[in-house]
Structure 1
């Protein structure tokens, strides 16, 4: 087969695989659940687009940054540095530090996706954002054990990813093309923060999870003065360390309570 024929066969195989994923019922479940949160996130995306234009970027530069970076917090951290003419290594280091939380996410998701080729894991990482990660791990606390379960989990994740990407890019592009016609600050970026906060609160379903959230929040505020938003990563580390220390004690107490007759409990 000629190189052109092999390329055509490869593309046909990929299109068929993605079509099967899109036809899976959980694909649309993931898309709908993500869409329900996207109102706040798209306001954040809109303000990110506006910020890029207001910083002096051309429309072409802003569009490329939105498509290639696809990380609102990293973009907002890098934009003032770009506008100030900071060295490239400073811009990259800042964006890396702001997005260090995705290293934690990746470690958690490693067991879910190790069956995929490296290339697929790389572009899956590009599409997976904070909220899609949260929704996915809430629905699937453990990795799949069978091929059928893997397909279901992948369909749900891709549904959320596609929905998130389309909403984000659409509003980001609107912000880019309308940015010069809008006031510098409308306060819409706070809507994205509220949306993320709502998702985080929905995960606090146990006392230990609620405690870890409170510890992380307190640590993030206490360490707010750290550069490059390292307070976020530090807060995660503090919460994980403390909860790893107390989790065995909590589980042991619960086991003892469940093993005792109701009348013997204090």
Structure 2
């Protein structure tokens, strides 16, 4: 009887974790709607077929890299340039993986692989709890949230594909601003100390300045300057 009760309790916990993952990710699922529509419509307006546009979201699943790749492919950019550019844009995911590695390294491969696939900016924002990914219930929560975002991203892409086929150029509507607002929503809650605040301010000011001056790779330089400033301050605080 005790064994049956334990099993029932575990299933209840897992179900609750699954539902909570869906609900917690829902605001970000909705916030990314303009971004997904922009990806789908931009692909259609640059000569992609509906299948190619949808497969990009199904297989690549990286909004900023998709937008850049669509533009580069449409302009017949050499493959090596496309690969290097998208690698730089998506390199932050390598850092995400390193950040959560110690939390998932003890888990079986059947858990680590799906977590790595859905480890987007949005899921990483949910990964700062010290017990994240530490047991089956928390893994179910993470995968529920991550795959919820994946499903909605593809739904919004599909809407963009349909809209791009039926409506005029949607890029003039300013939907790309959804990219900025989504990242702002992810970053603000993580500002919990002076080093992080300095990193955000320095990155933002440098990005705006270098972009205005027309400096190539302004985004990369701004990110490096911001991280360097945050690192120096964090080391100073800990010493």
Q: What interval of TM-score do these two structures reach, taking the shorter chain for normalisation? A: 0.7 to 0.9
Q: What's the secondary structure of 1:135's corresponding residue?
A: coil
Structure 1: any 5+ residue segments left out of the alignment?
A: 1-18, 253-266
- Tell me which of 69, 82, 99 is aligned to 2:60: 69
Larger radius of gyration: 1
Q: TM-score, normalised by structure 1?
A: 0.75
Which stretch of structure 1 is more off in the superposition, 201-210 or 89-98? 201-210
Query: Residues 57 and 153 of structure 2 are in contact (CA less than 8 Å); yes or no, is this contact kept in structure 1?
Result: no
Task: Within 5 Å, give how 1:1-266 maps onto structure 2.
Answer: 23-117=14-108, 120-137=111-128, 140=129, 142=130, 149-184=134-169, 185-224=172-211, 225=214, 227=216, 230-251=217-238
Query: Residues 21 and 151 of structure 1 are in contact (CA less than 8 Å); yes or no, is this contact kept in structure 2?
Result: no
Structure 2: any 5+ residue segments left out of the alignment?
A: 1-9
1:12 aligns with none
Query: Residues 22 and 159 of structure 1 are in contact (CA less than 8 Å); yes or no, is this contact kept in structure 2?
Result: no
Task: Please state how far the C-alpha of 1:20 moved relative to its aligned partner.
Answer: 6.0
Q: How many residues were matched structurally? A: 226
Task: Please state how far the C-alpha of 1:41 moved relative to its aligned partner.
Answer: 0.7
Task: Please state how far the C-alpha of 1:33 moved relative to its aligned partner.
Answer: 1.6
Query: How far, CA to CA, are the matches of 2:16 and 2:70 in structure 1?
Result: 39
Cα 1:172–1:152 shift into 2, 3 Å: same
Query: How far, CA to CA, are the matches of 2:67 and 2:152 in structure 1?
Result: 18
CA deviation digits over 1:71-109, x for unaligned, max 9? 110111011211122222222222111111112212211
Q: TM-score, normalised by structure 2?
A: 0.82
Query: How far, CA to CA, are the matches of 1:205 and 1:73 in structure 2?
Result: 26
2:4 aligns with none
Query: How far, CA to CA, are the matches of 1:89 and 1:121 in structure 2?
Result: 30
Cα 1:116–1:235 shift into 2, 3 Å: farther
Task: Please state how far the C-alpha of 1:219 moved relative to its aligned partner.
Answer: 3.2
Query: How far, CA to CA, are the matches of 1:21 and 1:195 in structure 2?
Result: 32
Cα 1:248–1:66 shift into 2, 3 Å: closer
